[in-house]
């Protein structure tokens, strides 16, 4: 029983995903983050995604303007793990 449990945990650990920065149009971007389990907090995912957005805009000396955020809704079970998607622009401050 123990090896099967460890196999399941290892498989779940590999399920986290991160889109990286994806350009959607002229100066418009998207970044998403998804947890590997339902035990990760949405705040941590959103903060990490915002840091990526900030870093993208800092490359050109601009500021982040959030256009839209889309978050997964609980309950976080059966593959519906915490997920956030942030669409943003880099604008002059």
pLDDT digits (tens, 9 = 90+) for 1-17: 555 544 444 444 445 67
Question: Which residues contact residue 29 at a Cβ distance below 8 angstroms, ignoring those fewer than 6 apart?
Answer: 21, 22, 23, 53, 56, 87, 88, 89, 90
Q: Which domain holds residue 36?
A: 2-91
* Domain harbouring 59, CATH code: 3.30.980
Condensed to tens digits (0 to 9), the pLDDT of residues 31-89 reads: 999 988 888 788 899 999 999 999 999 999 999 999 999 999 888 888 889 999 999 99
36 burial class (0-12, 13-18, 19+ CB within 10 angstroms)?
A: middle
Please give the C-alpha separations between residue 43 and each of 6, 8, 31, 47, 73, in angstroms, as whole numbers. 28, 26, 15, 6, 13
Q: How many domains does the chain fold into?
A: 1
**Three-state secondary-structure class, residue 92:** coil
């Amino acid at each position: 029983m123990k090896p099967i449990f460890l196999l399941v945990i290892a498989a779940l650990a590999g399920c986290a995903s991160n889109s990286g920065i994806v350009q959607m149009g002229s100066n418009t971007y998207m970044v998403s983050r998804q947890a590997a389990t339902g035990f990760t907090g949405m705040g941590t995912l959103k903060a990490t995604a915002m840091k990526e957005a900030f870093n993208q805009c800092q490359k050109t000396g601009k500021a982040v303007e959030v256009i839209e955020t889309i978050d997964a809704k609980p309950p976080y079970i059966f593959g519906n793990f915490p997920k956030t998607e942030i669409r943003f622009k880099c604008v002059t401050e």
